[in-house]
Amino acid sequence: MRRLAGVAVVAALSLVASPGIAAAVPTNPSDAQIDAAQEQTQTAAQQVEAITAALAGAQASVDSAREQSAIALDEFQGKQAEHEAAEVAADAATAAADAAARDLEVARADVAAFARQSYQQGSTSPTLEALTTADGPAQMLERAALLEAAGAHQGDVVVRVTAAEEQARAAEGQAQAALAAAAALEREAADALALAEQYEASARAQAAALAVQQDAVEQQLAQARQSLQGLQAARAEAERFAAEQAAAARAAAARAESERAAAAQRAAAAPAPRATAPAPRGTTQPVQAPVRSVPVGPAAGAGDSSAVETAIAAARRHIGVIYSWGGGSLTGPSMGWGIDAGIVGFDCSGLTRYAYAQAGVAIPRNSRAQYAALPKVSRSDLQRGDLVFWATNTSSPATIHHVAIYLGDDRILEAPQSGSRIRETSMRWGGFIGGARPTA
């Protein structure tokens, strides 16, 4: 019986010691593998930190390029407005020159008529002839009065010709100067537009490059983390399996010992044989090696509230409309300029001008001109409907690059930038240079 009990213990332990018979043994990664994966993850994390710092600097460059683009676009819109005004002045000067030329022609015709009359009478001094041919003193006096009036008229004709010539020359000079000014402003506007396009194209290219770099480093870090997590999961599974096997072995050994003791008791109760073998020593339970765990790493007036609500409602009707660089008219969205040619929408100042035009309030086209023309409001005095402005240098209005409508409660309505759409969002205080009140 004791022999049978010993055989049972060995069999039970054999089953526990050979778990592959019942299930596949999970592979336990080595410490070297775990350490290598952790090192790779740390390296990737460091690279992400480095690229994140670099991207922050690059993003600042993108933001600066976009701000310069907005400033240049603002400059273009101002020059374009000046050019349009200069064209109107040139047209008026040209019309004045044409009118002066017509007056000159009339005056010259009067002089020519006088010359013909003098020639036909045979003298350029008809006065003497008229007086000497009078029938008497009374007729002489009458003719003298008439000749005096005619002489004055002829003198007026000569003076009028001279004045008409001077006016014609002056009007022609003014027209030419106005045309030259309009042409110069048109060239300046074109130069400003080209510069704005250059800045905007640079900003978009940098933004696209940043997106590619960001994706690459994030994928690299994700792969490294996934690899480490896989190894750590395998280690945890192997340790769990080992712990289960150890527990099973202890349970089997305990059952075997119980069976052995029961067999010994039964043997002791039986009649003693004549020859007895030495009693076997107690069976020693197998000692299970401890399992090592691996830690897992870790100034203005109150304003007109009715006009304000009309303007805000008008702007809200276009929430979701795409930003168009240079877009926006007094009647709604319009074609953009340059890099956004063909895109119908609003830019920031186009939206604010349109909104207030619907309330019957006329404001300038570009953001810097809006800030310069409207009553100023400090941050503490901002109220619903005020325009809020941002600049690269908050002490210099010349660097204003963006404008939005303040809704109150630190909320704004804006046309943000190229590629985005008109939206309501939280107020940004960084770069805030001041506010203005269109209805004050």
Query: Distance between CA 35 and CA 298 in Å, rounded?
Result: 15
Answer for the pair 200, 325: CB distance below 8 angstroms, yes or no.
Answer: yes
Q: pTM here?
A: 0.55
Catalytic pick from 83, 318, 401, 402?
402
Give me the pLDDT at residue 276, please.
Answer: 46
Query: Distance between CA 221 and CA 170 in Å, rounded?
Result: 76
Catalytic residue check, 259: no
Burial state string for 234-259 with b = 16 or more CB within 10 A and e = fewer than 16: bbeebbebbeebbebbeebbeebeeb
Burial of 274 per CB tally in 10 Å (0-12, 13-18, 19+): exposed
Catalytic pick from 67, 75, 200, 348?
348
Q: For the chain, 440 residues long, give each residue's pLDDT as a single digit of tens.
A: 444 444 444 444 444 444 444 446 778 888 888 888 888 888 878 877 777 777 777 778 778 877 887 888 888 888 888 888 888 888 888 888 788 778 778 877 876 776 666 556 555 455 555 556 656 676 666 656 665 655 565 556 666 667 777 877 887 788 788 878 878 877 887 887 788 778 778 877 877 787 787 778 778 778 778 877 877 787 787 777 778 778 888 888 888 888 888 878 877 776 655 544 444 444 444 444 343 333 333 367 889 999 999 999 999 999 999 999 999 999 999 999 888 999 999 999 999 999 999 999 999 999 999 999 999 999 999 999 999 999 999 999 999 999 999 999 999 999 999 889 999 999 999 999 999 999 99
Q: What is the sign of the dihedral through the CA atoms of 327, 329, 334 and 335?
A: negative
Catalytic pick from 67, 75, 197, 414?
414
Residue type, 220: Q
Answer for the pair 72, 324: CB distance below 8 angstroms, yes or no.
Answer: no
Three-class SS state of 402 = strand
Alpha-carbon separation of residue 75 from 209, 334, 401 (angstroms): 28, 19, 10
Catalytic residue check, 401: no
Catalytic residue check, 218: no
Answer for the pair 366, 360: CB distance below 8 angstroms, yes or no.
Answer: no
357-414 pLDDT tens trace: 999 999 999 999 999 999 999 999 999 999 999 999 999 999 999 999 999 999 999 9
What is the CB-side half-sphere exposure of residue 171 using CA atoms within 13 A? Answer: 20
Q: Comparing C-alpha atoms, which of 341, 343, 365, 345 is closest to residue 353?
A: 365
Greatest Cα pair distance in the chain: 202
| Six token digits for residue 96 | 């004045």
